Structure 1
Amino acid sequence: MNLKTELETLADTVVTEWPEIACSSQFEDAIRFLYRSQLEFPPSWPQDQRDEFIASNAELETIRLAARLDDAIDSVIDGYTRQHGWPPHQEDAAEMIDAERRAVIFDLEFCLATLADEINKVSAQCLGRADTSMTGCSRAHR
């Protein structure tokens, strides 16, 4: 599945199931799935290193996104009220909040690009170092 389709699917799920999805592991699991399907790891990375990288970054991103998704209501209502002098109609507010939540999910595209750069940097730093080297890439290798 391509990135756009995966993000649209996740955005649809978040919009229809928020905040319930945040209270389960479903949201973090969806981000992990997205990372697994979209990030490319070098062959030199063992599966446990890939899993650890995905798990730690998905956990952090889940927390960050959950805060932004929760704040979407306040930011949309406050922004509209400041601009127009009165709060939006309830149905209009619901549509604007859904659009804001979709935008938050689509920010994962930038996160994926950042993680891909991080993978490349770590891989470049580790080139030529043996697993048993005292200058290995991680403490686990020492």
Structure 2
Amino acid sequence: MSTRVQVTFDSADPAAHAAFWAQALGYELEPPPDGFASWDEALDAWGVPPDHRNDRSALVDPAGEGPRLFFQKVPEPKQAKNRVHLDLRAAAGTDVEARMPALETECARLVALGATRVARHEPDRTSGGFIVMLDPEGNEFCLD
């Protein structure tokens, strides 16, 4: 039996961070628990004060295939390069001629959402080429 995976992001602003990744990946905000029409209704019932309502957020793959993404508020800013990062397979299976243009198109879309382009790595004998980026909170990820 396999173990389900959740990817957790430390974040200064979980709601905004989750909004970026929802757009980047086509994910959705996790629905409120059964019995609640909205997250505000659930948080009211649980007595969560307004100043703690952006302490966490979660996204789910609408197709139910990808991992849940969880965003948790932390007080400290990001300090160093990620030891683990996401690779967005934006051009998987694309032929060599179309690969980098497809990655550039996705890069432009993500920059418009708030990401930062860091570096483009050209195809070579060991790689089909990729683009390194940062999400709005400075976490590295790659377009592959």
| TM-score, with structure 2 as normaliser | 0.27
Task: Report the structure, 1 or 2, having the larger helix content.
Answer: 1
Task: Report the structure, 1 or 2, having the larger strand content.
Answer: 2
State which structure, 1 or 2, has the greater radius of gyration over its C-alpha atoms. 1
Flag the structure with more relative contact order, 1 or 2, with Cα contacts below 8 A and sequence separation at least 6.
Answer: 1
